[in-house]
Chains A and B, each alone.
Chain A
Amino acid sequence: MSRSPLIALIALSILFLGSCSQESAEVDTNLRLLYWQAPSTLNPYLSSGTKDIEAASIVIEPLAHYDANAKKVPILATRIPTVENGDIAEDYRSITWHLRQDIVWSDGTQLTSADVVFSWRYCTHEEAGCTGKDSFRDVEQVVAVDDYTVRIDFTKPAPFPFGPFVGSVSPVLQYQQFKDCLGLRAQECTEANFYPIGTGPFIVEEFKANDTVRYKANPHYREEGKPFFQTVIIKGGGDAASAARAVLQTGEFDYAWNLQVEPEVLDNMRNAGKGEVLTAFGSQVERIMVNQTNEDPSLDADTRSVYLDGNNAHPFLSDINVRRALSLAIDRQILVDIGYGVAGQPTCNVIPLPEQYVSTNNEDCKTPNIDEANRILEEAGWVKGSDGVRAKDGVRLSLLYQTSTNSVRQGTQSLIKGMWQEIGVETELRNIDAAVFFGGDPGSPDTLQKFFADVQMYTNNFEGNDPSNYVEGWQCGNVPDPQNQWVGPNISRGCSEEFDALLDTLSETFDSDERVAIIKQLNDIVVQSIWEIPLIHRARVSAKSNSLKGFELNGWDSELWTIADWYREE
């Protein structure tokens, strides 16, 4: 016992010395980022989600990216092609990019047009399983005109030619490093996929899949004196709330991404004063997908939730009156107040931004109307039974409603269940681990693509500032089914001739005002046919520590887009 005061004294002095030495130390040049979904690869073309693309975006770069206002900014190119400067052909069949001649890969070699051409070949190889294929839609060929000029030819006129190599989903890979990784070999090149050579401000030093990524500054980076940070660590794991806490409350990390946490919880953490919460609105919309196909569990694997040319309609969700009532009963403002706060706004469109694309024809959804919903159902012959659930011809309005595991989403589920109860619709809730739900594994029954439920809820958005490619998603031919390994963007399995015909018109229209008008109409068809029930226009929510400066949140591209300019100021 007599020793304890001595020990305490020693401990105190160590603490004191420790704090002294810390104060006199230089500003910390290590940047700590927290991605609660850990990166699993650093090759964006093989990524399984935004987390991989963001983690890779500080190493490999596209020709141009989007800034916080959804404007295109050239990175590896000298200028943004336009019809005026002659880089986009008059007939919209090709686009020409001029590369900067001062760009050097982190291994010291020169970036040339061969790298750009190769990246296209890499991703569009038939057996590659490239997840960025969408960016190269309708691309006929990519040609190296000379060492620093690349021309992209399209199979048909492309009114929006900025799919390839714009935005962090479609970066340029180094030909030297990936030349043996084409096709089936893509997944085998772990060295290249985990340690890609890039042109960005940082180089990968150590990659542990689904855990940690360590980077160090790229000595060959094009801007002198940048990046300001010498090392970067991306740590993965945990959940959104613990990530927010690590930045806002304990200050262990400088930045945390994608914080879908209840507003009061976030507010409470912010009161600790160690960091701030940032929001930026992009095109993210939290929506309910309404399954147009029959998902009866007793159906076999080739029939359940499969479109079958319209011959497998849902027993009651194929009735537009039911869908209309479901949408009418939802009070979106309450969902925002409870689950999102400043990070969300009620929306009635699947295209919530950029401003000119936003349709104004659906605003009535913002005022819920239970009585009207009840009236619609009553009129359509859905009569309440003794258990309070409506039924017609023996079919009960009983739904299975699934989403990913996240306390905000479970809260929203419970609230909507209550709202639907008031119109005589019974709801069973299910939550699925996010890694499974969004994982896209064709072997799992719980992915959003399989959609083995009546309705499901998640957030979708489009890349870049032009929804042209996004609206093509609702084409009849894009329904996921066993034949295409359950890949396809038409998750709700909605299909109409009117929609597809309008899409054809869109692809032949070049006048930008007319295009905007058509895209608005397409949005209206999706929303008014109620294949999807838009709920909330979500902002990206991130947290950063007070000492981190030079940060600008971006709703349209990688959130780490300005990482070279970040610095620390205590």
Chain B
Amino acid sequence: MKLEQFARAGQSIQEAREHPSPWMIVWIALKNHKGALVGAGVFTFIVLAVLIGPLIYTIDPQLTDTAVRNQGMSWQHPLGTDNLGRDMLAQMLSGGRIALAVGFAAMLLSLGVGITIGVVAGYYKRLDGPLMRLTDLFLALPLLPLLLVIIMLFRDTLRAFDPEMGIFILIVLGIGITSWMQTARIVRGETLAVKEREFVLAATSMGTSGLHIITKHILPNILSPIMVSATLGIANAIITESTLSFLGLGFPPDFPTWGRLLFDGVNFIEISPARVIWPGLAISLTVLSVNYIGDALRDAIDPRVRNE
């Protein structure tokens, strides 16, 4: 990214250098963070691969070809094939789409719920108690058994319009509503601190409405923990989806996701280790790179850390 892009409208480059905008400061801090740069590179590569990959590499991931079973790497099958002769690369790409889609969607949902509850609890004293007890309640719920029950109860209802989309919505909802609690607690804590600051007091005394204060004054000031939650949320959602698929739940058995590929490959770890290594590596790399980006974002956004 170039400096010019950060120059605000009507601002010369010279001015931008002297009075950098907040986003530019973040960018400057970010680009000095080696881990973040590598992480962003890897993450971009994975996202591009799973988005564009299937358009170029058009082999059907569910196609079984019994003539080419348990094959190693070759030009026809760059990552080899599984015991039913399905192409591993095609399955990896298609599985990655699911993993990332679930990751992002569930993260957005859990972030939305978490921020709303956190801010409301922190800002409105009357609602603080009930909302935080609700958070405690959700924290006490065991995640996996709850997801299993949800999937069993609502599977048939959602199947009615589209099986794969139905289970996708179910898993996203399941992960989303069981992972917002950490965000809510962090956001509440930060809101409580920011609420007492002078500029909020000033805004209140000028008669600004609560909603306005929250959106204009509080949220921008607690962006840093939210960003971190978001990145961690993606990683968490990908791992939960993999766990569900690994347990043989979640998506239908012939629908490749990284977790499912790992699950299916375990028995074959000695015959074709690649079946375990590739999906395992993909999950680890995605989660790790997202974590690095989150880490760097926190450092970059938080002025206290940045100025050290």
A454 on the interface (CB 8 Å rule)? Answer: no
Cα–Cα distance between A561 and B64 once the two chains are bound (Å):
41
A369 on the interface (CB 8 Å rule)? Answer: no
A334 on the interface (CB 8 Å rule)? Answer: yes
Q: Across the interface, do B271 and A298 meet the contact criterion of CB distance under 8 Å?
A: no
B21 on the interface (CB 8 Å rule)? Answer: no
Q: Across the interface, do A297 and B267 meet the contact criterion of CB distance under 8 Å?
A: no
One digit per residue, 1 when the CB lies within 8 angstroms of any chain B CB and 0 when it does not, for chain A 440-461 equals 0000011000001000000000
Cα–Cα distance between A262 and B266 once the two chains are bound (Å):
12
Q: Across the interface, do B66 and A414 meet the contact criterion of CB distance under 8 Å?
A: no
Cα–Cα distance between A414 and B84 once the two chains are bound (Å):
8
Q: Which residues of A contact B84 (CB under 8 A)?
A: 338, 411, 414-415
Chain B residue nearest to A244 in the complex (CB):
B267
B210 on the interface (CB 8 Å rule)? Answer: no
CB distance from A493 to the nearest CB of B (A): 19
A211 on the interface (CB 8 Å rule)? Answer: no
Chain B residue nearest to A271 in the complex (CB):
B270
Cα–Cα distance between A429 and B66 once the two chains are bound (Å):
19
A48 on the interface (CB 8 Å rule)? Answer: no
B243 on the interface (CB 8 Å rule)? Answer: no
CB-based closest 4 A-B pairs: A297-B156, A405-B248, A410-B253, A241-B267
One digit per residue, 1 when the CB lies within 8 angstroms of any chain A CB and 0 when it does not, for chain B 139-161 equals 00000000000001000110110
Cα–Cα distance between A265 and B159 once the two chains are bound (Å):
35
- Which of B62, B69, B248 sits near A414, CB closer than 8 Å? B62
Cα–Cα distance between A446 and B157 once the two chains are bound (Å):
15
Q: Which residues of B contact A268 (CB under 8 A)?
A: 270-271
Cα–Cα distance between A298 and B84 once the two chains are bound (Å):
35
Cα–Cα distance between A433 and B248 once the two chains are bound (Å):
8
CB distance from B257 to the nearest CB of A (A): 14
Q: Across the interface, do A413 and B157 meet the contact criterion of CB distance under 8 Å?
A: no
CB distance from A129 to the nearest CB of B (A): 25
A interface residue numbers (CB < 8 A to B): 241, 261-262, 264-265, 268, 297-298, 334, 337-338, 400, 405, 407, 410-411, 413-415, 417-418, 428-431, 433, 445-446, 452
CB distance from A398 to the nearest CB of B (A): 9
- Which of B64, B252, B264 sits near A428, CB closer than 8 Å? B252
State whether A429 and B152 are in contact (beta carbons under 8 Å apart), knowing that A334-B66, A405-B248 are contacts in the complex. no
State whether A445 and B254 are in contact (beta carbons under 8 Å apart), knowing that A265-B267, A265-B271, A415-B64 are contacts in the complex. no
- Which of A264, A400, A429, A431 sits near B271, CB closer than 8 Å? A264
CB distance from A420 to the nearest CB of B (A): 12
- Which of A241, A264, A413, A430 sits near B83, CB closer than 8 Å? A264
State whether A446 and B267 are in contact (beta carbons under 8 Å apart), knowing that A415-B84, A418-B63 are contacts in the complex. no
CB distance from B151 to the nearest CB of A (A): 11
B138 on the interface (CB 8 Å rule)? Answer: no
Q: Which residues of A contact B64 (CB under 8 A)?
A: 414-415, 418
B163 on the interface (CB 8 Å rule)? Answer: yes
Cα–Cα distance between A431 and B266 once the two chains are bound (Å):
17
B268 on the interface (CB 8 Å rule)? Answer: yes
B116 on the interface (CB 8 Å rule)? Answer: no
Cα–Cα distance between A418 and B254 once the two chains are bound (Å):
11
Q: Across the interface, do B152 and A446 meet the contact criterion of CB distance under 8 Å?
A: yes
- Which of B66, B70, B264 sits near A410, CB closer than 8 Å? B264
Q: Which residues of B contact A418 (CB under 8 A)?
A: 62-64
Chain B 67-108 residues near chain A, CB threshold 8 A: 69-70, 83-84, 86
Q: Which residues of B contact A414 (CB under 8 A)?
A: 62, 64, 84, 86, 253-254
* Known contacts A414-B253, A417-B62, A445-B156, then 4 further A-B pairs from the complex at CB < 8 Å, ordered by chain A residue: A262-B268, A407-B267, A414-B62, A428-B252
Cα–Cα distance between A523 and B214 once the two chains are bound (Å):
74
Q: Which residues of A contact B156 (CB under 8 A)?
A: 297, 445, 452
Cα–Cα distance between A338 and B159 once the two chains are bound (Å):
30
State whether A430 and B253 are in contact (beta carbons under 8 Å apart), knowing that A338-B69, A415-B64, A446-B152 are contacts in the complex. yes
Chain B 233-265 residues near chain A, CB threshold 8 A: 248, 252-255, 264
Q: Across the interface, do B270 and A338 meet the contact criterion of CB distance under 8 Å?
A: no
Q: Across the interface, do B267 and A431 meet the contact criterion of CB distance under 8 Å?
A: no
Q: Which residues of B contact A407 (CB under 8 A)?
A: 264, 267
State whether A413 and B152 are in contact (beta carbons under 8 Å apart), knowing that A265-B268, A337-B66 are contacts in the complex. no
Cα–Cα distance between A418 and B159 once the two chains are bound (Å):
21
Cα–Cα distance between A407 and B253 once the two chains are bound (Å):
9
Q: Which residues of A contact B159 (CB under 8 A)?
A: 297, 400, 428
State whether A429 and B254 are in contact (beta carbons under 8 Å apart), knowing that A297-B156, A338-B69 are contacts in the complex. yes
- Which of B69, B83, B152, B253 sits near A431, CB closer than 8 Å? B253
- Which of B86, B157, B264 sits near A297, CB closer than 8 Å? B157
What are 9 A-B contacts with C-beta separation under 8 Å?
Answer: A264-B271, A268-B270, A268-B271, A297-B156, A414-B253, A415-B64, A417-B62, A429-B253, A430-B252
Q: Which residues of B contact A430 (CB under 8 A)?
A: 252-253
Cα–Cα distance between A418 and B64 once the two chains are bound (Å):
7
Cα–Cα distance between A414 and B64 once the two chains are bound (Å):
8
CB distance from B80 to the nearest CB of A (A): 14
